[in-house]
Structure 1
Amino acid sequence: MLEMNALCLVLAYVFLSLLMLTVLIRLALPRLIKIGAIGAASLFYVVVFFSTQGLLGWSAPVGVPARFQVLWTRIVEPNVIQGEAGAIHLWLEELDAANLPTGEPRAYRLPYTANLARRVSKAQKEIEKGNLQGGRAEFFGTGASQSVPAGPLQTGAPPGGDPSGGGLFDPAFLGGQSRNVDLVPLPKPALPPKDMP
């Protein structure tokens, strides 16, 4: 059902773009305006492509929440022969300050690094033993979780659990994947005290 909705959404953009191009051909507008309109319509194809990834249930290549519970993981090792860089898929549920769930579970995709793969593998073994695992994400160069980068990015290593090497124009940074993912045993929720009668 979601795949059909995504296909219909893309087809709707194609139809509207073709309609706009047909109208633009007939209008007596400067060529620069026509080129700009065509460029804007093409840009929306890219926006629709990335927006529909979340609808289809794929692991989204976006930044993980600041605090989360790890529900399950999957590590895809790099394959040099086939030219695949590998990936780490995390199924996470966002947590509030009291370690209570605040949203629905979502699948995230992080670039593969050996360091992150070791930590995720260890967390997965703990989950299989029945020990809840949580985590937090911090931007590099900061000491606390934040929604925007507050300090300079470190260079020299790949993103996804190691310092980012691409700076502000690194696609992984733009997607929020250059956050340091720290996996730890999940503390119990901080519930308010019960009133005793």
Structure 2
Amino acid sequence: MTQTILTLAVAYAFVVALALLVLLQSRFPLILRAGLTVMTVALIFLTYRGIGEIRGLPSDSAPPERFRLYWAQVDEPDKVSGDPGTIFLWIRELDEEHYPVGQPRAHKLPYSEELAALVMEAQREIAKGEDIAGEVEDAEDEDTAEELAQETQSETGGNSARIGQRVVDFDFGALEFGPAPAPVTPDKAE
């Protein structure tokens, strides 16, 4: 998803630069100005089509602190193709009183055996008809940006991350699944 967003950002920057060029350099031949105008109009349609591709793609950000799990998909690593594996969660954020907030959203997480085991167990409970909630415990001490950058470099083997690729970095050991608590309702006043 981030690759698509970066592509669209570059496309918009190109449109702005092109519009400025045409406005500031109006001594270009008519054929060149007409060609630039046609390219700009074509880019608008390509951008519109690209935005349509963004909708529905899973978020690569960390899941919210509290959420209800609707379903998950575990794609295990494939040594033949070099795919590191991915875990997809379809979730909806819960507020402090356990009421749903916003719309359900798909989240894309990097594969780990520990997380895969947690997710598979939660899926078994959902298949039995249970409502399952997840909670990500807060980290006790926050690292500085420099420590996080060094940790990310050591985990990815240096600068092997490609542009547009985002790494979700939170402690999956702090993620717990359990029965979804009932929403807190106010007391009835008599």
Q: TM-score, normalised by structure 1?
A: 0.60
Within-5 A mapping of 1:145-156: 150-152=141-143
Aligned partner of 1:81 in structure 2 is 80
Using the aligned pairs only, state the percent identity.
32
Match of 1:183 among 170, 174, 177: 177
Within-5 A mapping of 1:102-113: 102-113=101-112
Unaligned runs of 5+ in 2: 26-46, 145-150
CA contact (8 A) 1:94 1:103 kept: yes
Question: What's the secondary structure of 2:176's corresponding residue?
Answer: strand
Question: What's the secondary structure of 1:83's corresponding residue?
Answer: coil
Within-5 A mapping of 1:108-123: 108-123=107-122
Of structures 1 and 2, the one with the larger relative CO (CA 8 A, separation 6+) is 2
Letter in 2 for 1:182: E
CA contact (8 A) 2:109 2:168 kept: no
Within-5 A mapping of 1:22-33: 22=21
Deviations 1:146-171 (A, max 9, x none): xxxx4349xxxxxxxxxxx5279977
CA contact (8 A) 1:78 1:85 kept: yes
Deviations 1:55-95 (A, max 9, x none): 42111111110110001111001101001011000001000
Q: Distance in 1 between matches of 2:11 and 2:72?
A: 35
Unaligned runs of 5+ in 1: 1-5, 27-47, 143-149, 154-164
Pairwise CA distance, 1:22: 4.3
Q: By percentage of residues, which structure has more helix?
A: 2
Q: Distance in 2 between matches of 1:56 and 1:78?
A: 26
Q: Distance in 1 between matches of 2:68 and 2:80?
A: 35
| 1:95 partnered with 2:89 | no
Q: Distance in 2 between matches of 1:124 and 1:52?
A: 32
Question: What's the secondary structure of 1:193's corresponding residue?
Answer: coil
Aligned partner of 1:125 in structure 2 is 124
Q: Root-mean-square deviation (CA), in Å?
A: 3.8
CA contact (8 A) 1:69 1:135 kept: yes
Question: Rg larger in 1 or in 2?
Answer: 2
Q: Distance in 1 between matches of 2:79 and 2:155?
A: 25
Deviations 1:98-131 (A, max 9, x none): 1110111000000000000000000011011111
Q: State the aligned residue count.
A: 146
